[in-house]
Amino acid sequence: MQNQHKGDGSNHGNRGGQQGKGKGGFCVCPKCGFSSVHQDGIPCKTVFCPDCNVSMHRSETPEKASGINQDQVKDGEPENVRPKIQFPKVLAEKCTTCGICIDACPTGTIVMENGKAFVKTDNCKRCNLCIKACPEEAIILE
């Protein structure tokens, strides 16, 4: 049977998510309300709340983004504000070089350097699995 799909294909791949919302907006924690200005190209769901460690959600209105200084928002768009994207960091004084964090990292961004684990942020997806896996609590968000 032939494909009966009609249309121009403009909806191909659209799953009704938050993709394609454009620039501007905010990443908001659904649990505590912490917010940061959305960084273009980084989905809010991949940014974790520094307080609750839960995935953030997109908000288009600054009223819902309680952590934003309203003096930095003009006509609903952030003005010269970049959120601080936090990455896992190994506290060398606590690291026992057990390697559990290296095994837990799905992208292979944790390496041993100078006898301690080190997170290479260029490939880090901020999944925080290394933080959860470390038995010494030697990895923090910074």
Domain span at 39: 26-78
Q: What is the pTM of this model?
A: 0.47
Identify whether 98 is part of a domain: yes
Q: What is the CATH number of the domain that holds 120?
A: 3.30.70.20
Task: With respect to residue 14, please indicate whether it lies within any of the assigned structural domains.
Answer: no
Identify whether 103 is part of a domain.
yes
Give kind and range of the element (H or E) at residue 26.
strand 26-28
Is-contact 90 117, C-beta < 8 A? yes
Residues 36 and 72 in one domain: yes
State whether 43 and 74 are in the same domain. yes
Per-residue confidence in pLDDT tens, the chain, 142 aa? 444 444 444 444 444 444 445 567 888 888 877 777 777 778 888 888 777 788 888 887 644 444 444 454 455 544 444 456 788 999 999 999 999 999 999 999 999 998 999 999 888 888 899 999 999 999 998 8
Tokens 């609590």 found at: 137
101 within domain boundaries = yes
Q: Is residue 118 part of a domain?
A: yes
